[in-house]
Amino acid sequence: MQKWGEPSFRSDQIWRWLYGSLVTDPQEMRNLPLPLRQRLADACYIGHLPVVDRLVDDDGLTEKVALQTHDGQIVETVLMRYEERNTVCVSSQIGCPLGCLFCATGQSGYSRDLTAGEIVAQVLHYARALRREDAHITNIVFMGMGEPMLNYDAVWLAIDNLHHPDGMNMGLRRFTVSTVGIVPGIERMAESGTEVGLAISLHAPNDALRDQLVPANRRYPLAQVMAAARYYVEHTSRRITFEYGLAEGVNDSEALAHETAELLRGMLCHVNLIPINPAPGDTGVACDYRPSSQGRILRFQEILMAAGIETTVRVSRGRDIQAGCGQLRQRRETTDREEMP
């Protein structure tokens, strides 16, 4: 605005239209003079990402959209409605370079990082949708496609934008960043002293098994990940969430539950047990894991709880809409290929 010779309060006005009123067209910015609105319309594009696919779960509570970027790529974003929460699960990259065995995103390879604008656009998509129902987003989790710690700057710029008091005004505690265990990213987050929550995808309590499930463990083994986790707790006094996806006969034995309890003993943390979402045949996931049975999950939980570790069993949401992120993108790509002459 300065460069255009406009008073500085114009930028505040525009900011409020964008993030408070959620407009998608400069012509709607009614307190701006008409010539300025026109100039904005000529010079800028308000980056909402068009919806190219939408799937709603049978229960109507979970839905996923495929949004298209300007370069024709697909970004997946999920909305999960709970009684008192509306959580949006956003992607940080298109694909993921880390190749976890059970993850559709990881198996589909890596295309590029998302920009901060593309991350914010995912949130604004659901902010607009919920506003039409008089509801709003309460939580944002970086658990969609990609590894947020490999796109740290864009992720944090997006969080800052969404946190801004004149805009979406989302409290930092409402955000959770999930990482497979990228140690430098965890350390950087710790040192920033942020109130943003941290989740670590654990999936196995020893290097031998974790190396197989989560190849990034070969680069950052468990001892380093746990040291970084303790460092985060020291700096932020915040409790860490450990995610543990349970696959029948792979990582759900009683012995592994005891080993997990040992690993986490004395740590300020919470464990989420999640039955692994089976990947449908056409997603190209390399393994044929099945989710653990309810009985095995409850036994695993019992062992952790007995060791004093708070543990919740999470229902795997949206299985019938392939809400395991990356699955929709792959479905589209498979379909596109099949439609080609």
CB atoms within 10 A of CB 208: 8
55-114 positions binding ligand SF4, by CB under 6 A? 96, 98-100, 103, 105-106
Give the CB-nearest residue to ligand SF4: 106
Q: Which does 221 bind (CB under 5 to 8 A by kind): ligand SAH, ligand SF4, none?
A: none
Pairwise CA distance, residues 157 & 31, whole Å: 27
C-beta of 182 vs 303, nearer to ligand SF4? 182
Structure token digits, residue 131? 């506003």
In the complex, the smallest distance separating the C-beta of residue 213 from ligand SF4, rounded to whole angstroms, is 9
- Residue 301 near which of ligand SAH, ligand SF4, none (CB within 5-8 Å, type-dependent): none
Name the residue nearer to ligand SF4 (CB basis): 142 or 175. 142
Min dist. Cβ of residue 218 to ligand SF4 (A):
13
AA letter at 102: F
- Specify whether the CB–CB gap between 204 and 259 falls below 8 A: no
Q: 119 and 158 in contact (C-beta within 8 Å)?
A: yes
Site string for ligand SF4, 127-166 (x = CB under 6 A): -------------------xx-------------------
Give 128 or 314: the residue with its C-beta nearer to ligand SF4. Answer: 314
Contacts of 332 (CB under 8 A, 6+ apart): 52, 53, 66, 74
Active site residues per annotation: 76, 325
As a whole number of Å, the CA-based R_g of the chain is 21
Cβ-Cβ contacts under 8 Å for 80 (sequence gap 6 or more): 61, 62, 86, 87, 88, 89, 317, 318
Closest alpha carbon to 216 in 246, 260, 182: 182
**Amino acid (1-letter code) at residue 324:** G
Amino acid at 205: P
The candidate with the shortest Cα–Cα distance to 151, out of 124, 178, 184, 115, is: 115
E strands, 202-277, are 240-246, 269-275
Q: Which stretches of the chain bind ligand SAH, using CB under 6 A? A: 102-103, 143, 147, 178-180, 201, 243, 245, 274, 276-277, 279, 324
Closest contact distance (angstroms) between CB of 68 and ligand SF4 is: 20
Residue 122 interface partner, choices ligand SAH, ligand SF4, none, CB cut-off 5-8 Å depending on type = none
- Distance, CA of 255 to CA of 258 (rounded, Å): 5
Rounded to the nearest whole angstrom, what is the least distance from the CB of residue 271 to ligand SAH in the complex? 12
The continuous run of DSSP H or E covering 220 comes out as none
Contact between 189 and ligand SF4 per CB under 6 A: no
Quick one: what does residue 276 bind among ligand SF4, ligand SAH, none, with the CB cut-off 5 to 8 Å set by partner type?
ligand SAH
The CA distances from residue 278 to 10, 56, 78, 243, in Å, are 50, 18, 18, 17
| Count of residues near ligand SF4 by CB under 6 A | 11
Residue 99 binds what, of ligand SAH, ligand SF4, none (CB under 5 to 8 Å, by partner type)? ligand SF4
The residue assigned the tokens 């303790």 is 230
Q: How far is the CB of 203 from ligand SAH (least distance, A)?
A: 6
Instruction: Choose between 69 and 105: whose C-beta lies nearer to ligand SF4.
Output: 105
Which residue's CB is nearer to ligand SF4, number 223 or number 286? 286
Residue 154 CB, shortest distance to ligand SF4, in Å, is 16
Q: Which residues does residue 291 pair with via DSSP β-bridges, in sequence order? A: 247
Using CB under 6 A as the binding rule, the residues of this chain from 199 to 228 that contact ligand SF4 are 201
The site for ligand SF4 (CB under 6 A) is made up of 96, 98-100, 103, 105-106, 146-147, 180, 201
